[in-house]
């Protein structure tokens, strides 16, 4: 009889403890995630640490945590996951003592460029018998920037009769020089107008002028994500990604020559606070800043290419070279670019269209992207 009474008392105590755990379990319970490295490249491994703190006197015998993560970021060492729309759900069970902190470390990999905000977690606390439970959502906002693939510009194929991308950039840098710092031997990519006839006659072979650029020269890259006549329709993510990779490669090459780079886009930039607009930003002298900018480029379009050019044309300078990386140019933009070129602005176009479809604009050099050399 005494044993039966003890069994009942213990049962009641356990039921009571289960009820207290369910109803009071979320009090003084903190859940957060730590991103050990939030600036990463596609395919680069990084760590995400989930921390659960039970800051109260009684333990939690049964806690299930569901972590929602975008499909483009995968936890490589998690054994239990499921799909929920565009998210993966990683689910783990915990038993946490009083005033205890539990950490779980995931190895993660991002498989696509972009800006990702992870926040949503669902916590379920139940009794030890699994008969009943309560749940609560936790929000812990973390931003992860995934850089575009870094491609050596010499690995990018352009329709320039064998001239490499790095050579194209250098030619653009020195094509409108102020200072001649010397002469060098003629090479196949040299221009006839750069031949130094006096030095060639004296040395008995062709010599070309070697130029130095002015100290205030600057390159500005305009990244257009409009893919068709109606700027907010027909978004081609594959073409936009190619434009972003070309933009990053050109910027890296120009920065390698010691020249500041400005960059702007008519795409909306994804940020922690939502979307923001982009004007042409001057003097981004850090490749890291350029890559961060490229990581934030979204597929939502702020405005058409024509409107974007009109909005920024007042800031154009004749000391700068403007490189338009684009999959599409409408007729109004063609006319505006022609007028800008005629007015003395140095404008170049990199054609990243599907079928080399962009028209030639008189007075403006155009080169066609033909892919990456493997």
The separation between the first and the last C-alpha atoms of the chain, rounded to the nearest angstrom, is 82
Task: Give the separation between CA 25 and CA 58, rounded to whole angstroms.
Answer: 9
The radius of gyration of the chain from alpha carbons, rounded to an integer in Å, stands at 30
Separation between Cα atoms, residue 108 and residue 74, nearest integer Å: 5
Q: Which long-range contacts does 126-131 make (Cβ < 8 Å, 24+ apart)?
A: 126/18, 126/21, 126/22, 126/62, 126/64, 127/15, 127/17, 127/18, 127/19, 127/21, 127/22, 127/61, 127/62, 128/14, 128/17, 128/18, 128/21, 128/61, 128/62, 129/14, 129/18, 130/62, 131/18
H or E element at residue 129 = none
Q: What is the pLDDT of residue 364?
A: 92
Query: Tens digit of pLDDT for each residue in 1-20?
Result: 666 665 565 555 555 555 55
With CA atoms as reference, report the closest residue to 244 among 268, 270, 227, 224: 224
pLDDT per residue as tens digits for the range 305-339 = 999 999 999 989 888 899 999 999 999 999 999 99
Helix axes 237-256, 287-296, angle to 10 degrees: 170
User: How many residues are present in the chain?
Assistant: 374
Whose structure tokens read 């539990």? 102
Which one, of 225, 222, 261, 163, lies nearest residue 349 by Cα? 222
Question: CA 247, CA 258: separation in Å to the nearest integer?
Answer: 17
pLDDT value of residue 212: 56
State how far the Cα of 284 lies from the Cα of 125, in Å rounded to an integer. 49
User: What are the structure tokens assigned to 138, written together?
Assistant: 């936790």
Provide the pLDDT for residue 239: 96
Q: What is the CATH number that goes with domain 153-178+214-372?
A: 3.40.50
Q: Where are the domains of the chain?
A: 27-147, 153-178+214-372, 179-212
Pairwise pLDDT comparison (78 vs 281), residue with the higher score: 78
| The domains spanning 27-147 and 153-178+214-372 adopt the same CATH topology | no
**What one-character-per-residue DSSP string does 201-220 give?**
HHHTS-EEEEEE--TT-EEE
Q: For strands 365-372 and 156-158, give the pairing.
A: antiparallel
- What's the CATH code, domain 27-147? 2.60.40.1530
**333 three-class SS:** helix
Q: Note the pLDDT of residue 337.
A: 97
Residues pairing with 125 in the sheet = 63, 134
Residues 247-279 have pLDDT tens digits of 999 999 998 888 889 899 999 999 876 666 666
* Residue 31 confidence (pLDDT): 96
Q: What digits encode the pLDDT tens for the residues 70-115? A: 999 999 887 778 888 889 999 999 999 999 999 999 999 999 999 9
Strand partners, 93: 64
234-to-326, 328, 371 alpha-carbon distances in Å: 14, 11, 22
Tokens representing 255 are 């920065």
pLDDT in tens, 22-75: 567 899 999 999 999 999 999 999 999 999 999 998 888 889 999 999 999 999
């Amino acid at each position: 009889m005494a044993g039966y009474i003890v069994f009942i008392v213990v049962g009641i105590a356990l039921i009571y403890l289960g009820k207290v755990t369910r109803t009071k379990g979320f009090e003084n319970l903190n859940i957060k995630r730590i991103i050990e490295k939030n600036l990463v490249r596609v395919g680069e491994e990084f760590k995400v640490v989930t921390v659960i703190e039970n800051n109260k006197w009684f333990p939690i015998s049964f806690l299930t945590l569901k972590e929602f993560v975008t499909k483009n970021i995968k936890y490589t060492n998690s054994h239990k996951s499921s799909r929920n729309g565009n998210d993966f759900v990683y689910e783990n069970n915990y038993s946490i003592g009083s005033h205890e902190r539990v950490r779980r470390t995931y190895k993660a990999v991002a498989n696509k460029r972009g800006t990702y905000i992870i926040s949503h977690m669902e916590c379920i606390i139940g009794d030890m018998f699994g008969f009943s439970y309560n749940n609560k959502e936790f929000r812990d906002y973390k931003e992860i920037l995934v850089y575009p693939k870094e491609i050596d510009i010499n690995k990018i194929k352009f329709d320039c009769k064998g001239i490499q991308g790095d050579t194209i950039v250098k030619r653009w840098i020195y094509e409108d020089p102020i200072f001649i710092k010397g002469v060098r031997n003629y090479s196949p990519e040299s221009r006839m107008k750069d031949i130094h006839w006096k030095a060639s006659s004296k040395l008995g072979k062709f010599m070309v002028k070697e130029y130095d650029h002015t100290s205030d020269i600057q390159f500005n890259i305009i990244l257009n994500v409009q893919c068709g006549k109606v700027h907010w329709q027909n978004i081609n993510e594959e073409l936009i990604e190619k434009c972003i990779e070309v933009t990053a490669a050109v910027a890296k090459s120009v920065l390698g020559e010691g020249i500041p780079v400005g960059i702007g886009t008519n795409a909306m930039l994804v940020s922690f606070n939502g979307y923001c607009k982009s004007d042409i930003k001057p003097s981004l002298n850090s490749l890291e800043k350029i890559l961060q900018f490229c990581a934030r480029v979204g597929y939502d379009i702020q405005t058409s290419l024509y409107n974007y050019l009109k909005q920024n044309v007042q800031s154009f300078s004749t000391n700068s070279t403007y490189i338009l990386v684009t999959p599409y140019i409408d007729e109004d933009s063609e006319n505006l670019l022609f007028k800008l070129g005629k007015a003395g602005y140095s404008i170049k176009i990199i054609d990243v269209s599907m079928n080399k479809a962009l028209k030639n604009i008189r007075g403006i050099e155009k080169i066609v992207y033909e892919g990456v050399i493997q």
